[in-house]
Amino acid sequence: MTALSAAPLVELSMDAGPSTSSGRTAVDATARLDSVLAYHTRTKHHIDRYAAGPGTLDWDAQPDPFRHWTDAQTLALPRHLPDLGIAWDALSDARPAAPLDVISISTLLRLSVSITAWKEYAGARWALRANPSSGNLHPTETWVIASGVKGVTNGLHHYQSQSHRLERRAWNDEATAPGLWLGFSSIHWREAWKYGERAFRYCQLDLGHALAAVSYAAALLGWRVQVLRLDSSEVAARLGLDRAADFAGVEAEEPEVIVALDASASLPASWLHPPQGGGHDCKAAEAATFMHYAGKPSLLDPRPLYQWPVIEEVATATRGTPPTPDPSFRRKPESSLIKLDPGLRRDDDATQIIFNRRSAQAFDGKSILPHAVFRRLLSCLLPGGSPVWGLWPHAPRVHPVLLVHRVEDVAPGLYALPRSEAALAALRETCRAEFNWDAADAELPLFQLIQAAAAKTARTLSCHQDIALHSAVTFMFVAEFDAPIAENPAAYRHLHWEAGMLGHVVTLEAEAASWRGTGIGCFFDDAGHDVLGFTDTRFQVLYHFAVGMPVDDPRLLTRPAYE
Ligand SMILES: Cc1cc2nc3c(=O)[nH]c(=O)nc-3n(C[C@H](O)[C@H](O)[C@H](O)COP(=O)(O)O)c2cc1C
């Protein structure tokens, strides 16, 4: 048994963060920082030039969206989705923790990363999942580490979403303390196949969506989730991703993160009130490394046509540990003080809202987003406003700027929702001097920067995509950039995760109100910075997101997830 102590919040020895303890490490840190900044710059889309990508795409040669592990013991998970009977508005209520068993794991996976439907059109068939993904390419792989979970063999399992089953990858001879962890890795090629060099950014945004999806699913089970502060090399060791020989001849998997699921405490809305230490009073997590391994990963693309070495470079430069939770996060969340319209009821079943989440492919360009829905949605983006901020109890570093087109009682224009007081001050200093910064809400930290018809600007900035024009509101997620990345280059990943999490909150809140969202990874970076008046890289836009009234395509047939 080789269980390693992996207590949350414990800085492990292999932290790849910058250090001045030796000249060598300082040089490495500088090289890593340079590498990240160079990657970010070269993967910007410009109005007259897109970041480097493939010249041609053969859709029949798309990498397999599902990885299988052959010669591994498999466990078919129950496909039935239990009726949890929890209304969306009751998400934050206290509820007893679901038992640590195979049904709960199955439910957790179904509500976060499983297939939720198949779509068919003109002979083509593709799966949709609970988590969205850029280009529906799904670079994120999910791993389950189970110990003492009723109905699941102890060990490390790959989650095979195509047939909703576990493939046992590794195990130990002796039992360990009961526990359940989810691990995540990225297969860059799935995304790079289509998007070239910019693909690393999309993998990270997708991961943020997946983490957010897990936090909602866990909240419904009454479980607490916490990110383990493990260095990337420790994540790789626990998920068996560092066993290079096992991946010989197939696409490697980049270690991302492991989260612990705590089923021992029933949740008194704990994600709204994280306890001392920033929300991490889960039982000490002992995610084991393993002695015995089995299985061989499948090849996803036998004939890759391109290589994008810069992705491996930025992946190496951004390995490290997640940030430290911020103790000030314990304060009573602003969002719980905000008087939201009591008439706005969202009684629909939360599992159905999560399960039916889709990205809109088109918006109607005329419906007006009710003010109450708009305010509720914004309040959920603030610290404490969603289960996501229990999983990610850090000082907010990504802040929405909104291009409002059609929102009841809100004049069209550019608005900012700084998620911390410090960001408000810094953004005011960094943005165009002529912006008004007029308070636009009595309670929310929403500021009007300028009143203007902004829909065409939104479309132009979003790579000319009509979804940004026809939405009711288009978000630009603006990240504090230079400072966090200089402190730890791994923050480049974490800022994208946070942007993806914000996108996920927006999409689920929109869905709960019978509206819909769509992520927009394609945007012209510096054109957006020009609009905001950024003349340096203290802040950078990392993601766009549109919300509107969807127009469905009746030609698409929908089939059940698992028949
Ligand atoms: C990070 C990210 C970037 C995306 N970028 C775009 C985009 O630029 N344009 C677009 O139409 N859809 C975009 N999408 C939406 C995806 O195409 C959509 O999630 C995918 O097709 C899967 O469909 P689903 O979300 O309905 O499951 C993006 C999604 C994500 C998560």
Using one digit for the tens of pLDDT, what is the confidence trace for 426-480?
Answer: 999 999 999 999 999 999 999 999 999 999 999 999 999 999 999 999 999 999 9
Among the listed residues 361, 378, 358, the one whose alpha carbon sits nearest the alpha carbon of residue 369: 378
Tell me phi and psi for residue 73, to 5 degrees: -65, 135
CA distances from 167 to 119, 159, 160, 431 (A): 26, 6, 7, 50
- Residue 134 beta carbon below 6 angstroms from any ligand 1 atom: yes
- Residue 517 beta carbon below 6 angstroms from any ligand 1 atom: no
Distance between CA atoms of residues 155 and 508, nearest Å: 32
Residue 335: is its pLDDT beyond 70? no
Question: pLDDT-derived band of residue 327, with 50, 70 and 90 as boundaries?
Answer: low
Strands 179-186 and 254-262: antiparallel
How far apart are the CA of 149 and the centre of ligand 1, in A?
34
How far apart are the CA of 517 and the centre of ligand 1, in A?
9
- Residue 133 beta carbon below 6 angstroms from any ligand 1 atom: yes
For the chain, give the mean pLDDT. 90
How far apart are the CA of 146 and the centre of ligand 1, in A?
31
- Residue 521 beta carbon below 6 angstroms from any ligand 1 atom: yes
How far apart are the CA of 94 and the centre of ligand 1, in A?
33
The pLDDT tens digits of the residues spanning 297-317 come to: 999 999 999 999 999 999 999
- Average the pLDDT over 332-341 and give the result: 62
- Residue 191 beta carbon below 6 angstroms from any ligand 1 atom: no
The pLDDT tens digits of the residues spanning 522-542 come to: 999 999 999 999 999 999 999
The pLDDT tens digits of the residues spanning 26-65 come to: 769 899 999 999 999 999 999 999 999 998 888 888 999 9
pTM of the model: 0.93
Which amino acid, one-letter code, is at 124? A
Distance between CA atoms of residues 255 and 299, nearest Å: 18
Residue 92: is its pLDDT beyond 90? no
Ligand 1 pocket: which of 361, 476, 497, 518 to mutate (most atoms within 8 A of CB): 518
Classify burial at 432, counting beta carbons within 10 Å of its beta carbon; exposed 0-12, middle 13-18, buried 19 or more: middle
Pair of tokens at residue 444: 């929310």
Residue 145: is its pLDDT beyond 60? yes
Return the sign of the alpha-carbon dihedral for residues 144, 148, 151, 155: positive
Full 3-state SS string of 10-53? CCCCCCCCCCCCCHHHHHHHHHHHHHHHHHHHHCCEECCECCCC
Q: Count CA within 13 A, CB hemisphere, residue 212.
A: 31
Q: Which long-range contacts link 45-49 to residues 24+ away (Cβ below 8 Å)?
A: 45/198, 45/463, 45/522, 45/523, 45/524, 45/525, 46/524, 46/525, 46/526, 46/527, 47/460, 47/524, 47/527
Which carries the bigger pLDDT value, residue 411 or residue 270? 411
- Residue 132 beta carbon below 6 angstroms from any ligand 1 atom: yes
Opening angle at CA 482, ends 132 and 188, nearest 5: 35
- Atom 22 of ligand 1, nearest CA residue: 136
The pLDDT tens digits of the residues spanning 247-288 come to: 999 999 999 999 999 887 544 344 444 444 433 333 334 556
